Amino acid sequence: QIRESAALTRDVLEQHFNDLKGTLKKLLDERLMSLLQEVDAIEQESIKPLDECQKLIEHGVSTADDLLLEGESAVHGDVGQQNEKLCSFTKKALHIQLDSLPEVPSLVDVPCLSAQLDDCLLTILKNQIFRHGTVASRPPVQLEEFVEKPGGILVRWCKVDDDFVPQDYRLQYRKSTASHFEDVYVGSETEFIVLHIDPNVDYQFRVCARGDGRQEWSPWSVPQIGHTTLVPHEWTTGLEGYSLSSRRNIALRNDSQSSGVLYSKAPTYFCGQTLTFRQVLSGIETVGQPDRRDSLGLCVEQQNGFDSLQRDKAVCVSTNGAVFVNGKEMTNQLPAVTSGSTVTFDMEVVQLGPGSNEGGTCKLRVTISSNNREVVFDWVLDQCCVSLYFGCSFLYPGWKVLVF
């Protein structure tokens, strides 16, 4: 573990500083280009009036040279043409202003470019670079517990550094055969159920934390292996009124007029576990219209011909929060089910009747929770059940339920 984490830390440091080198070079090149462009702009703007002045002076000198040549030709020409040339020379000389010069900018108005470079930048960078990065050998959080769930694992972690004040946690996982970890949770909780876990397959987990008011994450905890032996909960296929996700753990009440109870594929709920129904958005931004016959719950066996779990050998919750046991409504009521609501069922055996091994009676302690409220009661069955089916029924379309 020490050699592996040390090698990984070296790789991370080398990659990070190589990235910094590339980024710094790019920034310095961009700054240099910006300053050079600024020099070019000042040069072009400042030299333009001087170039125009020079052109005017050169033009005046050229005109004077031409006039001088013409005067010399008039003086040294033939007597017959001398008067005519002198007359033409005199007219040109009167029209050309040889004693005027363009306005030349004063010396104080002419820019003189120079580069002002502050050497303290190197000192600042040096101080920042020498303080950049740390190597830690004691992560402030560690993985604490793995709890098997059907098709998932409940991962718990804890803080082991009393001086560390966490703001957020970050949980990652990967299959033992994979090369890279991936984020599965970021938040303030200290536990998370990782779903879509293949049964009897090892997964590696690690967690880190971010201190209060900090941006950087702490070192990773020591990776640990977790797995589940429980098959995932799945809805049964083929019922016309419901559409299922690819993993068959999400059921959507569709627009079909057909109604009935959608059951689990198999009796995969065992006493001692927690079964969770979560209402999720169905893409139309709202849940379906509620009806008192709607139900979410558990039952001893599949019974076709019913449009609700509000029947014998079943416990369920309606979308209006009513709790039913063997078809009878209890006086205690839970909050209504809305978008994002979570309803959980917990059961434990509290009493086995005579001849339980041959299917005798049993009493189950049932706890149903929803929106921070719960109902607890005893459910007496005339036969001892090792496992139970789960099911749901909705009269109107738009309801979408995830089970885990």
| CATH code (residue 375) | 2.60.120.920
User: Is residue 182 situated within a structural domain?
Assistant: yes
Last residue of a domain, which of 105, 131, 157?
A: 131
| Higher per-residue pLDDT: 226 or 283 | 226
φ, ψ dihedrals at 391, nearest 5°: -160, 170
User: Which three-class secondary structure state does DSSP give residue 102?
Assistant: coil
User: Is residue 231 situated within a structural domain?
Assistant: no
Shared domain for 186 and 55, answered yes or no, is no
By mean pLDDT, which of 107-121, 204-218, 327-341, 347-361 is the weakest? 347-361
pLDDT at 211 over 50: yes
Cα dihedral angle (232, 348, 392, 382), rounded to 10 degrees? Answer: 120
What pLDDT score was predicted for residue 284? Answer: 45
pLDDT at 356 over 50: no
Name the band, by pLDDT with cuts 50, 70 and 90, for residue 37: very high
Cα dihedral angle (257, 259, 263, 265), rounded to 10 degrees? Answer: -40
Name the band, by pLDDT with cuts 50, 70 and 90, for residue 234: very high
Shared domain for 221 and 270, answered yes or no, is no
Residue 269 near residue 275, CB atoms below 8 Å: yes
From residue 247, how far is each of 103, 151, 203 by CA, in Å?
A: 86, 10, 19
Highest mean pLDDT among 53-57, 209-213, 299-303 belongs to 299-303
User: Is residue 46 situated within a structural domain?
Assistant: yes
Report which of 327, 301, 304 is spatially closest to residue 316, judged by C-alpha positions.
327
User: Which three-class secondary structure state does DSSP give residue 47?
Assistant: helix
Query: Mean pLDDT over residues 115-144, rounded?
Result: 85
Shared domain for 304 and 256, answered yes or no, is yes
The H-or-E segment that residue 371 falls in is none
Count of domains forming the chain? 3
| pTM greater than 0.75 (yes/no) | no
Residue 393 near residue 260, CB atoms below 8 Å: yes
Query: Mean pLDDT over residues 45-74, rounded?
Result: 79
User: Is residue 300 situated within a structural domain?
Assistant: yes
User: Is residue 234 situated within a structural domain?
Assistant: no
The Cα–Cα gap between 138 and 125 comes to 29
Shared domain for 28 and 166, answered yes or no, is no
What pLDDT score was predicted for residue 69? Answer: 82
What pLDDT score was predicted for residue 98? Answer: 60
CATH of the domain at 159: 2.60.40.10
Residue 79 structure tokens: 């007597």
What residue numbers bound the domain in which 2 lies?
Answer: 1-131
Any bridge partners for residue 143, and if so which?
A: 157
Q: Are strands 262-263 and 387-393 parallel, antiparallel or unpaired?
A: antiparallel
By mean pLDDT, which of 58-67, 228-237, 326-335 is the weakest? 58-67
Shared domain for 382 and 294, answered yes or no, is yes
Shared domain for 277 and 372, answered yes or no, is yes
Shared domain for 6 and 104, answered yes or no, is yes
User: Is residue 255 situated within a structural domain?
Assistant: yes
What pLDDT score was predicted for residue 354? Answer: 62
pLDDT at 105 over 50: yes
What pLDDT score was predicted for residue 333? Answer: 93
Query: Mean pLDDT over residues 365-390, rounded?
Result: 92
Last residue of a domain, which of 113, 131, 149?
A: 131
Shared domain for 159 and 53, answered yes or no, is no
Report which of 166, 399, 404, 159 is spatially closest to residue 277, judged by C-alpha positions.
404
- Mean pLDDT of the residues in the chain: 87
Shared domain for 125 and 83, answered yes or no, is yes
Query: Residue 370, exposed/middle/buried by CB under 10 A (0-12, 13-18, 19+)?
Result: buried
Report which of 293, 255, 398 is spatially closest to residue 339, judged by C-alpha positions.
398
Query: Mean pLDDT over residues 67-90, rounded?
Result: 72
> For the segment 5-32, what is each residue's pLDDT rounded down to a tens digit?
788 889 989 999 999 999 999 999 999 9
Last residue of a domain, which of 80, 107, 131?
A: 131
